[in-house]
């Protein structure tokens, strides 16, 4: 009887879902603005002891010890003695490799699209014991995405052709595989620069051949287009169809990407 009881207890321990679970982190370092925003959205902001100089949201993120910019200071990271380092697998690829060589507890996510941000939140929630919070954040993102889709559906006009201007000298656009391309598509627009892989040069000839209805760019972009003898021929330029969206909401892989999507949908389909 004793033997059977011991065997039963052993099986219970072996099958328990949290029997071998890692303890929740207590000191977290974030290597990118997007991962910092994810951590705060999951209610883990008080545990973040290090982030980058570009981490400016929420306001509390600005007061945290800085471990670098696009380049990570490994000495500063090690000095903070983190039990979890959260990184962007693409933006922080070099740092991820080095920190793993240093036997540091790195957890890398790959938020390269809107859906990728949601997947990253799920993974980070599972890693930190905040899966319920992650589900709530994702539900909020999905709600805003649904509102954006409704605006698109209610607009009886053809989908607007959009030129995304990343820089003007030389002229670069955001193409296939970029956050902005994903957002434009989700917001019911057609990215005329989709043939460009991620980010790259886009000639004036190609712009004139595929004239946009809307140009995504700030006041400096509008000024450059109006000053150019070729680009000022575009109807979008003559009609002043320029829209400037906050960079943090449209190019940073975090939960606020949903806010950027909704703003973009309003810009493309608003009355």
Mind giving me the DSSP string for 179-239? HHHHHHHHTT-EETTTTSBSEEE--HHHHHHS--SEEE--HHHHHHHHHSTTGGGSHHHHT
146 found inside a domain: no
Same domain, 99 and 198: no
Task: Note the Cα 17 to chain centre separation in Å.
Answer: 31
Range of the domain at 78: 25-139
pLDDT exceeds 80 at position 205: yes
Rounded to an integer, the average pLDDT of 159-179 is: 92
Question: pTM, whole model, 2 decimals?
Answer: 0.86
CA neighbor of 162 nearest in space, from 184, 137, 132: 184
Output the pLDDT for position 20.
44
pLDDT exceeds 60 at position 7: no
Which domain-ending residue is among 76, 106, 139? 139
176 found inside a domain: yes
Residue 91 burial by CB count (10 A; 0-12/13-18/19+): exposed, middle or buried? buried
Output the pLDDT for position 29.
98
Output the pLDDT for position 269.
93
List the structure tokens of 34: 């997007």
144 found inside a domain: no
104 found inside a domain: yes
Same domain, 127 and 174: no
HEC string of 158-184 equals CCCEEEEEEEECCEEEECECCHHHHHH
Output the pLDDT for position 18.
44
pLDDT exceeds 70 at position 249: yes
Same domain, 83 and 45: yes
Rounded to an integer, the average pLDDT of 30-38 is: 97
**Kind of pairing, strands 161-168 and 106-109?**
unpaired
Output the pLDDT for position 17.
45
Number of domains in the chain: 2
Output the pLDDT for position 177.
85
Render pLDDT for 68-110 as a digit per residue (tens, 0 to 9).
998 999 999 999 999 999 999 999 999 999 999 999 999 999 9
Same domain, 79 and 120: yes
Percent with pLDDT over 70 in the chain:
92
pLDDT level of residue 22 (50, 70, 90 thresholds): low
pLDDT exceeds 90 at position 271: no
**Backbone phi, then psi, for 228, in 5-degree steps?**
-85, 125
Same domain, 62 and 126: yes
CA 180, 155, 138, 44 torsion-angle sign: positive
149 found inside a domain: no
CATH number at residue 213: 3.40.50.1980
Output the pLDDT for position 16.
47
Distance CA 27, CA 211 (A): 51
Percent with pLDDT over 90 in the chain:
82
1 found inside a domain: no
Distance CA 41, CA 60 (A): 12
Same domain, 134 and 162: no
State how far the alpha carbon of 111 is from the alpha carbons of 32, 65, 87, 95, 108, in Å: 11, 24, 10, 17, 10
Same domain, 119 and 164: no
CA neighbor of 95 nearest in space, from 72, 66, 70: 72
pLDDT level of residue 4 (50, 70, 90 thresholds): low
The DSSP 8-state label assigned to residue 21 in this structure reads: P
pLDDT exceeds 50 at position 14: no
17 found inside a domain: no
The DSSP 8-state label assigned to residue 68 in this structure reads: B
Distance CA 84, CA 25 (A): 6
62 found inside a domain: yes
Rounded to an integer, the average pLDDT of 254-271 is: 92
Same domain, 36 and 82: yes
**Backbone phi, then psi, for 145, in 5-degree steps?**
-65, -35
Q: Please give the order of strands across the beta sheet that includes 84-88.
A: 48-50, 28-30, 84-88, 106-109
Rounded to an integer, the average pLDDT of 219-229 is: 94
């Amino acid at each position: 009887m004793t033997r059977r009881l011991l065997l039963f207890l052993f099986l219970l321990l072996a099958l328990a879902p949290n029997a071998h679970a890692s303890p929740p982190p207590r000191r977290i370092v974030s290597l990118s603005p997007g991962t910092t925003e994810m951590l705060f959205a999951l209610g883990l902001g008080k545990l973040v002891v290090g982030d980058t100089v570009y981490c400016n949201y929420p306001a509390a993120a600005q007061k945290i010890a800085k471990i670098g910019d696009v380049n990570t200071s490994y000495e500063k990271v090690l000095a903070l003695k983190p039990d979890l380092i959260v990184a962007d697998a693409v933006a922080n690829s070099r740092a991820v490799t080095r920190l793993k060589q240093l036997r540091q507890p790195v957890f890398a996510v790959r938020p390269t699209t809107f859906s990728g941000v949601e997947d990253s939140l799920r993974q980070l929630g599972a890693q930190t014991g905040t899966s319920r919070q992650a589900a709530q954040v994702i539900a909020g993102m999905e709600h805003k995405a649904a509102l954006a889709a409704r605006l698109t559906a209610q607009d009886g006009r053809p989908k607007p052709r959009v030129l995304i201007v990343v820089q003007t000298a030389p002229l670069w656009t955001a193409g296939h595989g970029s956050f902005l391309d994903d957002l434009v598509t989700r917001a019911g627009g057609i990215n005329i620069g989709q043939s460009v892989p991620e980010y790259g040069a886009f000639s004036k000839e190609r712009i004139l051949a595929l004239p946009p209805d809307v140009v995504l760019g700030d006041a400096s972009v509008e000024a450059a287009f109006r000053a150019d003898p070729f680009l000022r021929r575009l109807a979008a330029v003559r009609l002043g169809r320029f829209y400037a969206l906050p960079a943090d909401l449209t190019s940073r892989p975090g939960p606020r990407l949903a806010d950027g999507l909704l703003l973009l949908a309003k810009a493309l389909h608003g009355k």
